[in-house]
Amino acid sequence: MRERFSRGYIEEELREIGEGIDGSLRVYLIGGGAMSFLGLKDATKDIDIVVTDTSDLTGLADALESRGYEQVNELDTEYEELGASVILENPDRCRFDIFDRQVADKLIFSEGMEQRADELLQSGSLTVQLTSPEDIFLFNSVAGRPADIDEMNTLVQTGLEFEAVKQETEVQTELLGEELFITHIAESLADLQERHGVTTPLMDYVESRSEDVYEAGDTDDSEGRSTSING
């Protein structure tokens, strides 16, 4: 079983890493690490970081390697599906999963997400931003693992601003394509309801968009069959 790391451990790692970075670097904390700083989780197995520039990815990876982190090359299916650009692990088995703007090919860290994030800490040339609870909810929804569904439930209990979640959902459908994103969201919301008996104001919106996607697909299929028969 993988070790879990507390908020204190994560903060110390981030501060020490910042002291070894050359040039200004801004990163965004998501996942269990972010949940711990929100006081919603005691510990996490991984420190999930999003960068919005590939040069920041290189700078962070270099700083981690200088502290004894080594790249993890053998991953189980769960990690491969998340699609981190780089995964590095230290001798304590603490992992940094670094994403270059996009997570799991299902969600893009948008300009709105950048604006909603709050500064968490600054150390040396490193600034760490804490992603908003609303956007963490969306990240969990595309990851879709049982633990992510549980964290979605925890976040709902904090009183999320679902209007912001809905607006970001609309942004993501533009960035990624409606069918792909809405399908992932709908599946996770259904799992949330089945696993915890929780429904959210986002459900009606997603269901209506899912119906639009389904009807559009039926139309395309119908046209495709017609063309094939006539051909």
How far is it, in rounded angstroms, from Cα 222 to Cα 142?
Answer: 30
In this prediction the pTM is 0.87
- Residue 189: give the domain boundaries: 133-231
CA atoms within a 13 Å half-sphere pointing along the CA-CB vector of 68: 7
Q: Smallest Cα–Cα separation from 145: which of 49, 93, 76, 214? A: 76
Strand 43-44 versus strand 70-71 pairing type: unpaired
Tell me, yes or no, whether 112 and 65 share the same domain: yes
Tell me, yes or no, whether 112 and 207 share the same domain: no
CATH number at residue 84: 3.30.460
Q: Is the pLDDT of residue 136 over 60?
A: yes
In this predicted structure, which of 8-17, 130-139, 144-153 has the lowest mean pLDDT? 144-153
Q: What is the pLDDT of residues 83-134, one digit of tens each?
A: 788 999 999 999 999 999 988 778 999 999 999 999 999 999 999 999 999 9
Q: What is the pLDDT of residues 53-64, one digit of tens each?
A: 989 999 999 999
Taking residue 23's Cβ as centre, other Cβ atoms within 10 Å add up to: 9
From 131, 153, 168, the end of a domain falls on 131
How far is it, in rounded angstroms, from Cα 109 to Cα 56?
Answer: 14
Tell me, yes or no, whether 138 and 178 share the same domain: yes
According to DSSP H, which parts of 39-110 are helical? 54-66, 77-82
Q: Are 195 and 152 in contact (CB under 8 A)?
A: no
Q: How many domains does the chain have?
A: 2
